[in-house]
Structure 1
Amino acid sequence: MAAISLSKLNKHYGSLFHAVKDVDLEIADKEFVALVGPSGCGKSTTLRMIAGLEDISSGDIRIGNRVVNDLPPRDRDIAMVFQNYALYQHMSVYDNLAFGLRNKKTSEAEIKAAIDRAAGMLGLHELLARKPKQLSGGQQQRVALGRCIVRNPEVFLFDEPLSNLDAKLRAQMRIEIKRLHAAIPTTSVFVTHDQVEAMTLGDRVVIMRDGRVQQVGTPLQVYGKPANKFVAGFIGAPAMNFVNVTVRSDGGATTVEADGLKLTVGGADARALAAYNGKPAIMGARPEHLALGEGAPGASFDAHVEVVEQLGSEILLETRVGSHGITVARVPAETVIASGDRVRVSGQPGRLHFFDPETELPITAA
């Protein structure tokens, strides 16, 4: 097994496009790290540079104790799972699993033992004689995972491996990958545009934007203490609500005001906002931290219900507060509510987020 270290990693495509910008990242031995961000953020390019499928423009990549900048992929002791499975269609599942080992001149007895082990872990024994075209998407992806397992590499790399699966299969494969990492705790880097996948799979999550790392932390850290407004809005489903507010502080109570909204804030939030008296700020509120009904004094507001989404276990409300759209999540499923209703909404004390409108960094107490 091996740790991965990225130091000042850059990727230029000619003189016009700087895809990856000064990425520094330390991935511990046996750690599972998820790279997540919108399309074009540089996450897949970063993964491909680790794999050796893209040349780096500057910086260093270490796998274990080796700088691998100039090593070809076959010499990096990595195994990669692709979005499109990349299986040989004319070969059986068994031969797909054996292909890499046969290229390394591994004995057939060792190949069979490795395939038996992988097939047992992934439920592939009944599929070994089939061709890929006879398999479902989920089965093909399990074969792709098995091909990595039999090689026993130092590093697993996953390039959006679940993107082509339907919602149910995606959930099942997330569990398969989680079980796989528990059984074979190999250093793993998982690239996805789906923040739910990143949060459920990663020991740590790396959020990228425009080629730069925005934040690195555990799922709870990036959810609870986002490094900036972009991270706050990207992590969490449904997404965080943002409202442009004006801060008012008279030395006693501190309030934030917007069209149709006036909330009292206290504690650390009030201390942090003291320097913004009379100035604009951005307030963030996660939908799951809003509830129907009267809350703590000064923590409630009126809203007009525009859309009711009945999810079975809960209700999701799209509301209008003055000129602002605000999503309220996790309303009990048995709540009788309809589009056009007016409701009272309250926020959980201490669960609001505030950002500077220019830097988009969190406003925190000194």
Structure 2
Amino acid sequence: MAAITLSKLNKHYGSLFHAVKDVDLEIADREFVALVGPSGCGKSTTLRMIAGLEDITSGDIRIGERIVNHLPPRDRDIAMVFQNYALYQHMSVYDNLAFGLRNKKTSEAEIKAAIDRAAGMLGLHGMLQRKPKQLSGGQQQRVALGRCIVRNPQVFLFDEPLSNLDAKLRAQMRIEIKRLHAQIPTTSVFVTHDQVEAMTLGDRVVIMREGRIQQIGTPLAVYGKPANKFVAGFIGAPAMNFIDVAVHNEAGATAVEAAGLRLTVSAPDARALAAYGGRHVILGVRPEHLVLGEGAPGAGFDARVEVVEQLGSEILLETRVGSHGVTVARVAAETAIARGDQIRLSAQLGRLHFFDPETELPVRA
């Protein structure tokens, strides 16, 4: 096993595009880290540089005790799972699993033992003589995982491996990968654009935007204390609501106001907003931190329901508050509510977020 260290990592494509910008990241031995961000943020390029599939413009990559900048992929002791499975269609599942080991001149007895172990973990014993085209997408992805397991590498690299699967299979494969990491705690880097995958799989989550790391932390840390407005809006489903509000510091209380909205903030938020009296900030509130009804004093506001999304286990309400746009609230599935209803919503005052409108950094005490 091995730790991974990225130091001032950069990738330029010619003089026009700077894809990865001064990335510093330390991944501990046996840690599972998820790189997440929108398309084009540099996460897959970073992964491919770790794998040796992309040249490094500047910086260093260390796997274990070795700097691997100029080592070819085969010498880095890594295994990679791709989005498109990358299986040999003319070979059986057994031969796909054995291919890398045979190239390393491993004995057939050792190959059989390694495949038996991997097949047992992944439920592949009944498929070993089939060809990939005879398997479902989820089964093919399990074969791709098995091909990595039999090699027993220092590092697993996952490049959006679940993107081609339907929603149910994706959920199943997330559980499969989580279970495998518990059984084989190998240092792992998982790239995805899906923040649910990142949050459920990663010991830590690395959020990227335009080639730069925005925040590194545990799933709960990046959810509860986002480093900036981008992270706050990217992490969480549905996304955080943002409202431009004015700050009013009054005797004994601080309130934020927008058209149709006035909230009296908590004491910690009042201290944080003390320097913003008479100015505007961006209020952030997650849908799950809005509740139907009056709530605490100074927490309620009126809204008109514009869209009702019945999801079975819950309802998402898209509402209009005053004239400043749509606010999404999450309510219980049995709530009787319809489009056009006038409702009263209340914010959980201790769960509000505030951001400086110029820097987009959080306003905290």
TM-score bin (small chain): over 0.9
Which residue type is aligned with residue 130 of structure 1? R
Separation in 1, partners of 2:286, 2:332: 17
In structure 2, the partner of 1:200 is 200
Separation in 2, partners of 1:8, 1:125: 44
SS in structure 1 opposite 2:35? strand
SS in structure 2 opposite 1:360? coil
- How high is the sequence identity, in percent, across the aligned residues? 85
In structure 2, the partner of 1:66 is 66
Separation in 2, partners of 1:116, 1:238: 42
What TM-score do the two structures reach when normalised by structure 2?
A: 0.99
In structure 1, the partner of 2:145 is 145
1:251 CA drift (Å): 3.7
Separation in 1, partners of 2:320, 2:214: 31
In structure 1, the partner of 2:321 is 321
SS in structure 2 opposite 1:190? strand
In structure 1, the partner of 2:75 is 75
Runs of 4 or more above 3 Å deviation: none
Q: CA RMSD in A?
A: 0.5
Tell me, which stretches of 5 or more residues in structure 1 are unaligned? Answer: none
1:333 CA drift (Å): 1.3
Tell me, which stretches of 5 or more residues in structure 2 are unaligned? Answer: none
**1:238-249 superposed matches below 5 A:** 238-249=238-249
Which residue type is aligned with residue 14 of structure 2? G
Find out whether 1:23 has 2:23 as its counterpart. yes
Find out whether 1:215 has 2:212 as its counterpart. no
Identify the range of structure 1 (37-46 vs 308-317) with the bigger mean alpha-carbon deviation: 308-317
1:335 CA drift (Å): 1.1
SS in structure 1 opposite 2:197? helix
In structure 2, the partner of 1:175 is 175
In structure 2, the partner of 1:3 is 3
In structure 1, the partner of 2:55 is 55
In structure 2, the partner of 1:91 is 91
Separation in 1, partners of 2:195, 2:333: 25
Separation in 1, partners of 2:245, 2:339: 26
Separation in 2, partners of 1:133, 1:333: 41
Separation in 2, partners of 1:333, 1:99: 51
1:266 CA drift (Å): 2.2
Separation in 2, partners of 1:262, 1:32: 43
Q: Deviations over 1:145-183 (max 9, x none)?
A: 000000000000000000000000000000000010000
Find out whether 1:157 has 2:157 as its counterpart. yes
In structure 2, the partner of 1:280 is 280
1:250 CA drift (Å): 2.1
SS in structure 2 opposite 1:15? coil
Q: Deviations over 1:241-290 (max 9, x none)?
A: 00000101124211101111111112110000010001010000000010
SS in structure 1 opposite 2:350? coil
SS in structure 2 opposite 1:350? helix
1:322 CA drift (Å): 1.1
